[in-house]
Amino acid sequence: MNQQSDRKDTINPFGKLMFLVVDDFENFRLSMRQMLRSCGADKIELVAHATPAIQYSTYNHVDVVLCDYNLGEGKNGQHVLEELRHKKLLKRSSLFLMVTAETSKEMVMGAREYQPDGYLTKPLNRAMLEKRLGALIQQRNALLPITREIDRENYPEAISQCLLLMPKQPRYKTWLMKTLGELYFLVGDLAHAQKVYDNVLAQRELSWARLGLCKILLKNRNFDQSVEGLKGLIAKHPDYMEAYDLLAEGLEMQGRPIPAQQILEKAAEHSPNALLRQRHLAELAGANQDIDTASQAWRQTVALGTNSIHDNPEHYLALAQSLSDLSEGNQDEDGVKQATEALNVLSRMEKRFADDDSVGLKSQIVQCRVHAGQANHREAEKLLGTVKAELEQLESLPPDLGLDYAKTLFRMGHDDQAKALLTDLAARYGDKPDVLQKIENLLDEPVGFRQKIEARGHNREGIKAFESGDLEGAVKAFTSALAIVPDHAALNLNLVQVLLRQHDESPADRSLLTRCQAHLQRLTTLPEQHRQYRRYTALTRKLEGMIQ
């Protein structure tokens, strides 16, 4: 019986499959149904737009999706593919084909990010459809024993099926080798994954195999080798977006965030419609204090999110925060424009995510900073009063909300309240290194980003002077930095160490010890969880021993 069924599938590969056609033109939908029927298809669903397509896929199994890129107002074909992949509504054993007359590089690159199984270019005739789709269905059926196990997340069995099919399906050898490497990596068998990629590369230089090998090198912490391999891969294949993402990851792991940002900027130029990459770029640029680039990337992230499953109020909030940073203390035309945009973004966020109870409070905290930065102190204080009243109603303060509130308190001159809040947060989230890192950064540098950059420049000068033996130059540079960020733990301790070295050379000069005392006094409220706390206690004990 099974042999008869298999023979029937071979004769008519379209017969048993469920097809979903998504196109906003009725004539094309009807024409497509007619062509599919003449190819032997029986089960065909037609929908005009993205929302019904996603809805249908949620409640029904679909084997083949034929989706137009331009679907009128709202979501396009890329958004449909993105959402089906994200929600796991599109099985590995299913096919998604983008059907389009659109051939712009932006469209192709954007859609390719979510790996459609193929493209069909309009105008389309029956012969073209049968040939192209027939070949893909034939491949799908041949590889079903593997893709079915991947859908079940039974990866060891999927690996076994790959090895079993390798000698039986030589025409799909490339797909089998690529999938086998990915599966070995997925189950953590890096040695076998590397063997697969090495075997492929020994015969032919294939970009996916080189990427896979670099991925393994990165996982094994061979950062330099991986980074060099990825640079070479990008030089040969400048449109290979996965290589840019992996290279940025490798550079970050090397502790080189600025080159990582530059790589993501290049990737965004090639393929500007990938929301998750724009978000990564925005986060990285923000961490690098490149607030102009961060704002632009957040702006793009928000725009791309309009019809995306990845839309999130945090994107709007981050854009408003970066615009607030840019406009702070700048009341000329640019500053006013940035502040106005920040307030508009927050207003849009509140309307768009009205069902999210936390959005209003988060918005008001940033609004306080925007108004304070434009010297609208009365409006800022009025909003702050509302924020304080709302925060008192919360049972516990989430770390991100607490950090942003502390930042606002600092900007509005309520330093003691901000420090007390951060000390409390450090005690409560002592087991979360990422939260502690943010608390330290804010305690050390509770100022605007332009002042941070200036202070960091002085700090670098001080370290350079100290290393070259120029103690006076080091004192001068660290003192200049501390004039901007007087409570910065590492800077105060750096200066104490230089002053103690000067005292070693001039033991009679007791004023140096008095200065050391004053700088250590600034750090008496340093939380025990702070990375500089042990250094602070060690220098305090050393100074006490010298004074007695």
Domain regions of the chain by residue span:
2-141, 469-547
The helix/strand/coil state of 257 is: helix
Query: Can you name the residues that pair with 68 across neighbouring β-strands?
Result: 99
CA gap 29, 544 in Å, rounded = 84
CB 329 within 8 A of CB 303: no
Phi, psi at residue 526, to the nearest 5°? -60, 125
Architecture of domain 2-141: 3-Layer(aba) Sandwich (3.40)
DSSP state letters, 121-136: ESS--HHHHHHHHHHH
DSSP 8-state secondary structure symbol assigned to residue 99: E
Query: Can you name the residues that pair with 47 across neighbouring β-strands?
Result: 22
Pairing mode of beta strands 64-68, 95-100: parallel
CB 405 within 8 A of CB 421: yes
Q: What is the pTM of this model?
A: 0.89
For residue 64, the model assigns a pLDDT of 97
In a structure prediction context, what are the per-residue pLDDT tens digits for the chain, which is 548 residues long? 444 444 445 567 898 999 999 999 999 999 999 999 999 999 999 999 999 999 999 999 999 999 999 998 899 999 999 999 999 999 999 999 999 887 677 777 776 777 899 888 888 899 999 999 999 999 999 999 999 999 999 999 999 999 999 999 999 999 999 999 999 999 999 999 999 999 999 999 999 999 999 999 999 999 999 999 999 999 999 999 999 999 999 999 999 999 999 999 999 999 999 999 999 999 999 999 999 999 999 999 999 999 999 999 999 999 999 999 999 998 999 999 999 999 999 999 999 999 999 999 999 999 999 999 999 999 999 999 999 999 998 888 999 999 999 999 999 999 999 999 999 999 999 889 999 999 999 999 888 888 999 999 999 999 999 999 999 999 999 999 999 999 999 999 999 999 999 999 999 898 999 999 999 999 998 888 899 999 999 999 999 888 87
Contacts of 76 (CB under 8 A, 6+ apart): 50, 69, 70, 307
CA gap 242, 378 in Å, rounded = 49
For residue 10, the model assigns a pLDDT of 57
For residue 514, the model assigns a pLDDT of 94
Query: Left (φ > 0), alpha (ψ -120 to 50) or beta: where does 189 sit?
Result: beta
As a three-state string, the secondary structure of 259-294 is: HHHHHHHHHHHHCCCCHHHHHHHHHHHHHCCCHHHH
From residue 200, give the alpha-carbon distance in Å to each of 49, 173, 210, 335: 42, 10, 9, 55
From residue 225, give the alpha-carbon distance in Å to each of 92, 213, 230, 333, 546: 32, 10, 9, 48, 50
DSSP state letters, 485-525: -TT-HHHHHHHHHHHHHHHHH-TT-THHHHHHHHHHHTTTT
CA gap 411, 368 in Å, rounded = 9
For residue 113, the model assigns a pLDDT of 79
CA gap 94, 79 in Å, rounded = 17
